[in-house]
């Protein structure tokens, strides 16, 4: 678990790694790269795909691309523009859409939940029935939050375990596209995931469909 600074607030964040049938590694929401993490990743296989799933989770993609130049890089809508404005790596090979690239279409399904400010690419690893989200649900465990003053902010924001949901401020980006978000969530439910991986906070090893219905009750 690493830390992501958003508006100067320290948030724990998680990277997801999937080994594809050809042995290549698929990295979702890459975290800071150091020698220890690089050794662990190299032990798993060659890095083939680097995925920046939304305009918040792109910051370290360029570091991974520099370390693994043979890997292809992918970004959700608006990420490249945001990265360029921030002076970060923005030369992504491909923009993510609702159709999975051929490189992983046989293994991972995907959709893009479009918001006015933030759009997020969502992924479903079919063999393990694992849904991978970034910020559409956050579920921070209060006993693992080191900053006392941050805890009430997380509770007010609706992202505290066990009832983590989409951050209340982030919901504003989907207010005008509520029906589209509902359709996206319904698609996630139709995939029938068992596990639900999150970039922030406790993830769900079982009962993913029920957690989706709970967390997105505000759109149904």
Please report, for residues 77, 83, 163, 167, 169, the alpha-carbon distance to residue 89 in angstroms, rounded to integers and kept in the order given: 15, 6, 35, 27, 27
Which residue range(s) make up the domain with 107? Answer: 2-219
Q: For the domain that residue 24 is a member of, what is the CATH number?
A: 3.60.15.10
Would you give per-residue pLDDT tens digits along the chain (220 residues)? 443 333 444 568 899 999 999 999 999 999 999 999 999 999 999 999 999 999 999 999 999 999 999 999 999 999 999 999 999 999 999 999 999 999 999 999 999 999 999 999 999 999 999 999 999 999 988 777 767 767 877 888 888 999 999 999 999 999 999 999 999 999 999 999 999 999 999 999 999 999 999 999 999 9
Count of the separate structural domains present in the chain: 1
pLDDT of residue 10: 56
d(C-alpha 31, C-alpha 69), whole Å: 17
Asked if 87 and 115 count as a contact pair (C-beta separation under 8 A), the reply is no
pTM: 0.92
pLDDT of residue 157: 80
Which class for 208: exposed (0-12), middle (13-18), buried (19 or more C-beta within 10 A)? buried
pLDDT of residue 2: 42
Task: Single out the residue of 141, 121, 113, 155 nearest to residue 204, CA to CA.
Answer: 141
């Amino acid at each position: 678990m690493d830390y992501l600074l958003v508006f100067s607030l320290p948030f724990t964040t998680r990277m997801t790694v999937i080994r594809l049938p050809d042995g290549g590694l698929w990295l979702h929401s890459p975290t800071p790269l150091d020698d220890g993490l690089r050794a662990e990743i190299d032990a798993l296989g060659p890095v083939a795909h680097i995925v920046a799933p939304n305009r918040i989770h792109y910051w370290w993609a360029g570091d991974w691309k520099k370390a693994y130049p043979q890997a292809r890089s992918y970004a959700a809508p608006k990420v490249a523009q945001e990265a360029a404005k921030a002076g970060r790596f923005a030369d992504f090979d491909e923009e993510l859409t609702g159709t999975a690239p051929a490189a992983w279409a046989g293994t991972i399904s995907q959709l893009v939940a479009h918001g006015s400010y933030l759009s997020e690419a969502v992924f479903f690893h079919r063999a393990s029935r694992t849904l991978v989200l970034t910020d559409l649900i956050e579920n921070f465990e209060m006993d693992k939050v080191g900053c006392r003053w941050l805890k009430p902010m997380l509770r007010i924001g609706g992202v505290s375990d066990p009832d983590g949901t989409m951050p209340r401020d982030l919901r504003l980006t989907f207010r005008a596209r509520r029906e589209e978000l509902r359709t996206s969530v319904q698609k996630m439910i139709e995939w029938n995931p068992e596990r639900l991986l999150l970039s922030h906070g406790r993830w769900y090893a079982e009962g993913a469909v029920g957690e989706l219905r709970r967390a997105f009750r505000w759109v149904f």
